[in-house]
């Protein structure tokens, strides 16, 4: 017997060592694999424990009702908030069909929703009540599917938000909305007062002129009355003809007679001007009724522009071009408010500019009246063009503007079946389009 046996016999330990070594290597490897597995397991275990704590924490502290439902519709897990509601607590709830926790109507809805979930995984959303010791409590329920790793129906999660709380939140929201509305109307009131102040400044200026006219005329009349009185006293005391002739030329009665009618004329003109201004004012204030009449847009624009000019004191005057008269249908006081807002904005924009210009053009276009108010101020940057009609959008300092002018103006235009729009510059170009009074089919 030669061969391997002979070799073994020659060196009996050689093979044994090698075998041992390979066995040891295998054991080593297995051991290190075991250690790695062990580490992995410990790691996973720690993760699982953390996840469990997280879930327990959530279930414990969530104020809404949370129910984890098994594939067969029974309660697998639920939040503390549910246990607190149902008499008997956790033992009464866990493992029980979820529908039984709700009242009859709710149970039917949940049954139907679970069937839907099984079929097409559609999330359901409804109201249902849980009977409690203190009476039925309404909840807003959302029932969503719980899918397994292969995207198949594995149960559901039900979350219920107490509607009592929602209703309270709603009431709070309502309250703060109410407060906001009040604050807003306060701002609107302040804005009205501010524009009333501007208007009054303009009107006061406007009245000043004719009143001083009347004043100067009456002053002159007073002087002439004195002269005539002196003359008539002489006539009555029987003065001679020569004396009277001398007195007449001394008192310059011929000239006084001529001036008398000028003074009377002046006083009347001033009074008429005051009357017109009062009529304008009355028209502006008496249109609370909002009744539409046929009026001259050009005249309204002139009056509105003049009042703002006088109030502004910058000395810039509005140049008028186009039609002298334009009959439109609307509420003149409201339209005058638009004119005043646009002119005020234009005057504000050109204030301090090199050669300030504000222009109002009146035209008929496409059977409509068209009033264009333009200025050579800085214009409106592209990124603000969309915002200028928003209520409360303003770039003016506090106290100078509330940002309501254009939004109110646009609303008024709309109420008239018209439109207020902003055209491309240079400068700012606002166009008010209104129905003409004489358009067939209108008025
Ligand atoms: N002619 C104009 N030129 C440049 N910017 C303008 C012009 N008209 C309006 N704007 C811009 O649009 C903003 C809004 O105008 P709007 O008339 O609505 O409010 P306001 O003038 O700021 O305040 P309020 O009119 O309430 O006094 C202004 O603050 C300004 O930035
Ligand atoms: Mg304004």
Residue-by-residue pLDDT tens, the chain, 443 positions: 444 444 445 566 666 888 888 888 998 999 999 999 999 999 999 999 898 888 888 878 888 899 999 999 999 999 898 898 888 888 888 999 999 999 999 999 999 999 988 888 889 899 999 998 888 888 999 999 998 888 888 899 999 988 877 777 888 899 999 998 888 777 766 766 666 777 777 777 778 878 888 888 888 888 888 888 888 888 888 888 888 888 888 888 888 888 888 888 888 888 888 887 777 777 666 545 567 889 999 999 998 898 888 877 788 899 999 999 999 998 888 888 899 999 999 999 998 888 999 999 999 998 899 999 999 999 999 988 888 988 778 888 876 777 888 888 888 898 899 999 999 979 999 999 999 987 554 43
The verdict on domain 287-443 having CATH code 3.30.565.10 is: yes
Q: What pLDDT does residue 273 have? A: 83
Ligand 1 near 369 CB (within 6 A):
no
Q: Which of 193, 339, 374, 388 to mutate to test the pocket of ligand 1 (most atoms within 8 A of CB)?
A: 388
- pLDDT of 142: 93
Each residue of 113-147: b (16+ CB within 10 Å) or e?
bbeebeeeeeebeeebbbbeeeeebbbbbbbbbbe
| Cβ neighbours of residue 32 closer than 8 Å, sequence gap 6 or more | none
CA of 328 to the centre of ligand 2 (A): 24
Cβ(395) – ligand 1 distance below 6 Å: yes
**How far does residue 341's CA lie from ligand 2's centre (Å)?**
5
Instruction: Give the pLDDT score at 226.
Output: 86
Specify the ligand 1 atom closest to the Cα of 405: 25
Decide if 163 contacts 129 (C-beta within 8 A): no
- State both tokens at 248: 């007449």
- Give the Cβ contact number of residue 28 at 10 Å: 10
CA 387 distance to own-chain centroid: 10
Q: What is the pLDDT of residue 12?
A: 61
CA–CA distance, 101 with 401 (Å, rounded to integer): 60
Which residue lies with its CA nearest to atom 4 of ligand 1? 379
Q: How far is the CA of 441 from the centre of ligand 2 (A)?
A: 34
What is the DSSP code string of 177-200? Answer: HHHHHHHHHHHHHHHHHHHHHHHH
Q: Six-digit token pair at 185?
A: 């109307």
Q: In what order do the strands lie in the sheet with 124-132?
A: 75-78, 65-69, 153-162, 135-147, 124-132
What is the C-alpha to C-alpha distance for residues 115 and 98, in angstroms, rounded to an integer? 13
Q: How far is the CA of 379 from the centre of ligand 2 (A)?
A: 14
User: Which ligand 1 atom lies nearest to the CA of residue 427?
Assistant: 3
Residue ranges of alpha helices (H) inside 286-389 are 297-312, 332-350
Q: Two tokens at 261?
A: 């009618």
345 close to ligand 1 (CB < 6 Angstrom): yes
Q: What is the CA(192)–ligand 2 centre distance, in A?
A: 12
CA 57 → CA 76, 79, 157, distances in Å? 16, 9, 17
Specify the pLDDT at position 381.
Answer: 93
Paired tokens of 228: 């005539």
Q: Round the CA-based radius of gyration of the chain to a whole number and report it.
A: 47
Q: Is the CB of 217 under 6 A from ligand 1?
A: no
**What CATH code would you report for 58-167?**
3.30.450.20
Q: Is the CB of 375 under 6 A from ligand 1?
A: yes
Residue 321 contacts residue 360 (beta carbons within 8 Å): yes
């Amino acid at each position: 017997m030669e061969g391997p046996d002979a070799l073994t016999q020659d060196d009996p330990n050689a093979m044994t060592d090698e075998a041992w070594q390979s066995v040891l290597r295998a054991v080593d490897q297995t051991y290190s694999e075991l250690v790695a597995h062990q580490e992995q397991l410990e790691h996973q275990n720690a993760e699982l424990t953390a996840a469990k704590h997280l879930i327990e924490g959530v279930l414990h502290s969530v104020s809404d009702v949370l129910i984890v439902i098994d594939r067969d519709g029974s309660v697998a897990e639920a939040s503390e908030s549910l246990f607190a509601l149902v008499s008997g607590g956790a033992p009464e709830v866990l493992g029980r069909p979820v529908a039984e926790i709700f009242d009859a109507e709710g149970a039917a809805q949940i049954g139907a929703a679970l069937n839907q979930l099984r079929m097409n995984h559609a999330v359901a959303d409804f109201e249902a009540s849980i009977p409690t010791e203190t009476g039925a409590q309404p909840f807003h329920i959302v029932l969503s599917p719980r899918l397994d790793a292969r995207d198949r129906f594995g149960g559901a999660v039900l979350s219920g938000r107490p509607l009592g709380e929602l209703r309270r939140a709603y009431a709070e929201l309502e309250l703060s909305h109410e407060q906001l509305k009040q604050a807003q109307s306060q701002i609107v009131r302040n804005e009205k007062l501010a524009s009333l102040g501007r208007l009054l400044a303009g009107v006061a200026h406007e009245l000043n002129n004719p009143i001083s006219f009347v004043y100067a005329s009456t002053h002159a009349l007073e002087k002439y009355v004195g002269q005539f009185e002196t003359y008539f006293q002489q006539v009555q005391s029987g003065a001679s003809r020569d004396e009277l002739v001398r007195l007449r030329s001394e008192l310059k009665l011929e000239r006084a007679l001529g001036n008398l009618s000028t003074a009377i004329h002046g006083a009347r003109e001033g009074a008429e001007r005051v009357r017109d201004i009062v009529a304008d004012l009355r028209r502006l204030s008496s249109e609370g009724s909002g009744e539409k009449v046929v009026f001259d847009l050009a005249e309204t624009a002139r009056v509105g522009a003049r009042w703002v000019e006088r109030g502004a004191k910058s000395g810039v005057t509005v140049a008028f071009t186009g039609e002298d008269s334009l009959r439109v249908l609307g509420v003149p006081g409201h339209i005058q408010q638009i004119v005043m807002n646009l002119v005020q904005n234009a005057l504000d924009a050109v204030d301090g500019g090199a050669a300030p210009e504000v222009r109002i053009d009146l035209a008929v276009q496409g059977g409509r009246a068209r009033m264009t108010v333009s200025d050579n101020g800085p214009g409106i940057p592209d990124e603000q063009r969309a915002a200028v009609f928003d209520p409360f959008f303003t770039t003016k300092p506090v106290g100078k503007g509330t940002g309501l002018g254009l939004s109110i103006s646009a609303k008024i235009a709309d109420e008239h079946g018209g439109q207020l729009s902003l055209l491309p510059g240079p400068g700012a170009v606002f166009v008010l389009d209104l129905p003409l009074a004489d358009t067939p089919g209108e008025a």
